Structure 1
Amino acid sequence: MNALGRHILVEFYDCSPELMNDVVHIENSMVAAAETAGATVINSTFHHFSPYGVSGVVVIQESHLAIHTWPEYGYAAVDLFTCGDSVDPWVSYKYLKEAFEAGHGSSMECRRGQLDLLKRNDFNIENMRDVSPKPPEVAGAITRDVWFTERDENIALSLKHSGRQLYKKDSPYQRVEIYETLAYGNMLTLDGMVMCTQKDEYVYHEMITHVPMFSHTKAKRALVIGGGDGGTVRELLRHEQLEEVTLVEIDELVIEACKLHLPETAVAFDNPRLNLLVEDGIKYINECEDGRYDLIIVDSADPVGPGEGLFTAEFYSQVYRCLTPDGVMITQSESPRFNSAVFVEIYDTYKQIFGEEKVHCYLAAIPTYPTGTWSFSYSSKGNSHPLQYDREAAAGFARSQGLKYYNENIHTAAFALPNFVKELLNSKSTNVTDEYSAEPTN
């Protein structure tokens, strides 16, 4: 070969959209394509972008293979670059065309570094050698960096995972997936959005349950709408005063996935005090008898997909009807900074149904949720107030149960709201602004 390298620019068309959005399949295929061609793989780094799209590169001793996909078009743009004669990039091309189920492909080969245009320079390699000590390399070892990314228009969260997808199924409602992340353990995602992880799920589940249970000590019957991961009912069932806990989850695959791969979260599904129903929570509430429950927790996903109907005035009015005269409704109420408009709108709705003085907002720090700050609402049908509770009982409970986040001080502090949250709660949903002025006022 009269050049330093061969560079094939590839376009694959009519690929499987599912495969073009599967970062694990793409990373495995790219690594295998390199190895099949006889390349020595050093490193792979791949990112999945929510809701769709994958970018990645496989670094080989002989150069690299790179890709970006557009699942919505069934299209992949691929670079295959090899140095020397030992690796044939066309072998990789044929492998990937089949792996991606491409209808057809187009390609163009360039010879990089034409030798008749180059002049070899003599230099002292000793002056360029890195003499710093390095750990011994393991023969055949590949460094693999595979990333899941939940991406919104203006913000993103990326988590590195093992490259093994533990669970992936499509239900009639959503795609249910579990990844093995390096920093946060196993992670449940629904339609590409992070729901919970092993390392921080306790924050959400302890705060959505123990705050109302210590403020409403007479609660005997509790209902959870959503919460198929099992964490909310796990925490509720720590309270012996509860005689009945009903969980209504629309998607049985969420329950299945968490039983298999988040067993610490799903540990309470076999508790005899739990009444588990796989059905539509909206339908259940609409058919529920008046005054049935002391506590109703709406443990919903974001207001999209199957969770969209759980953010309406009609639904909250039905929840109000199903509460006892002293009953309490708890909801996850989004991030006040990330979803400001939704945050304000739903609090306006709560106040219209429960009354201005009966609705309270509290916050918790959840690292894997957008902005890291998440809100919960406490809405009382009667006179229950979230800051009127037995601090000693809460402290003893937190110690005896080995809770990781909730305690009596956190309970109180969660209701100490930042000024920007207070301003949002005092605004109207039609007049929400994200503008911020750093100018001091005197």
Structure 2
Amino acid sequence: MTDMTGWSVERLHDDHAQALREEQVHYDSKTDHQRLRVFENPTFGRVLTLDGVVQTTEGDNFIYHEMMSHVPILAHGDARRVLIIGGGDGGMAKTVLKHQTVQHLTMVEIDAGVVDFSKEYLPTLSDGAFDDPRLELVITDGADFMRETEGGYDVIIIDSTDPVGPGEVLFTDHFYGHAHRALSPEGILVTQNGVPFLQGDELTHTMRAFKELFRDWTCYTATVPTYAGGPMAFGWGTDGKARHTDLDTLKARFDAAAIETDYYTPEVHKAAFALPPYISRLMP
């Protein structure tokens, strides 16, 4: 067997693994429950893993965060109230708050320790977002919050872990139903739905729920290098017509926002909804 000393090996899938070299370990919880580690990789910078599974990296987090925030916000066109469930590292909040049209952002994180940890070990991800007066940080269970909130959100972003352990409840039909109720009439819900090539059931389950709840439901994709297995899927649900916003309108909104991006463009936005057959066949 090959010596993997000095490598972080991810075994999320039964028959597939990836490895990232560790130049320096900055943090290792070394506990039996949800082992949290931050290490330095020469390509991706600081890497955060949970039980050996990559959660985010300094190097490629921008793809995930830009596509989960800019796509629904610019498609909506007038998103003033945004809700993030999860996202304790602050990367999604930072990206949402780049939109000056967003007047209020509620971020719900189950563990305050994740926020403090991320500020210390991954400060570039939030980059001051937690100090923005538009951000309201709520420390509670995301499912409980969604069930009890009065709603009225223009965009809801479910920045969750995979559907195991504490994150499992964020993938249930009941949770999606509560999220639908919490949206404004033209509101948009986007969800993290894993890598369809290796996690097809996850996408199918979410899309089956969305089909029952929303007039317009589908997914879009983006390729994040450290999420092994090909393009990642993001669920999309709305009762409005935002998905069909034309390219010229998206360009005008993007120019007006004056946001610098490394992945998102209006052209990428439109193309992300074009699905290859192997993903289309996962739709109910």
TM-score interval (norm. to shorter): over 0.9
Structure 1 residues 286 and 173, CA gap change in structure 2 (3 angstroms):
farther
Confirm or deny that 1:156 pairs with 2:17: yes
Larger RCO (CA within 8 A; separation ≥ 6):
2
Confirm or deny that 1:392 pairs with 2:232: no
Confirm or deny that 1:212 pairs with 2:72: yes
1:423 paired residue number: 281
1:195 to 55, 63, 73: 55
Gaps of 5+ in 1: 1-44, 48-55, 57-145, 429-442
Query: Which amino acid is the alignment partner of residue 252 of structure 1?
Result: A
1:283-339 per-position Cα deviation (integer Å, ceiling 9, x unaligned): 1111111x4211111110100011100000000000011111111101111111110
3-state SS in 1 of match to 2:124: coil
1:294 paired residue number: 154
Task: Give 1:395 deviation, angstroms.
Answer: 4.7
Larger Rg: 1
RMSD between superposed Cα atoms in Å: 2.0
Task: Give 1:173 deviation, angstroms.
Answer: 7.5
Aligned 8 A contact 1:171 1:253 in 2: no
Task: Provide the C-alpha distance between the structure 2 equivalents of 1:148 and 1:193, rounded to a whole number of angstroms.
Answer: 9
Query: Which amino acid is the alignment partner of residue 114 of structure 2?
Result: V
3-state SS in 2 of match to 1:265: helix
Task: Provide the C-alpha distance between the structure 2 equivalents of 1:353 and 1:173, rounded to a whole number of angstroms.
Answer: 36
Query: Which amino acid is the alignment partner of residue 268 of structure 2?
Result: I
1:81-137 per-position Cα deviation (integer Å, ceiling 9, x unaligned): xxxxxxxxxxxxxxxxxxxxxxxxxxxxxxxxxxxxxxxxxxxxxxxxxxxxxxxxx
2:43 to 172, 176, 183: 183
- Give TM-score scaled by structure 1 length: 0.60
Aligned 8 A contact 1:394 1:407 in 2: no
3-state SS in 1 of match to 2:229: coil
Task: Provide the C-alpha distance between the structure 2 equivalents of 1:205 and 1:373, rounded to a whole number of angstroms.
Answer: 14
1:262 paired residue number: 122
Task: Provide the C-alpha distance between the structure 2 equivalents of 1:386 and 1:376, rounded to a whole number of angstroms.
Answer: 17
Aligned 8 A contact 1:173 1:306 in 2: no
2:199 to 325, 339, 343: 339
Q: Which 10-residue stretch deviates more, 176-185 or 196-205?
A: 176-185
Task: Provide the C-alpha distance between the structure 1 equivalents of 2:148 and 2:34, rounded to a whole number of angstroms.
Answer: 25
1:253 to 110, 113, 128: 113
2:261 to 389, 403, 407: 403
Gaps of 5+ in 2: none
Count residues in correspondence. 280
Aligned 8 A contact 2:29 2:35 in 1: yes
Query: Which amino acid is the alignment partner of residue 113 of structure 2?
Result: L
- Give TM-score scaled by structure 2 length: 0.92
3-state SS in 1 of match to 2:268: helix
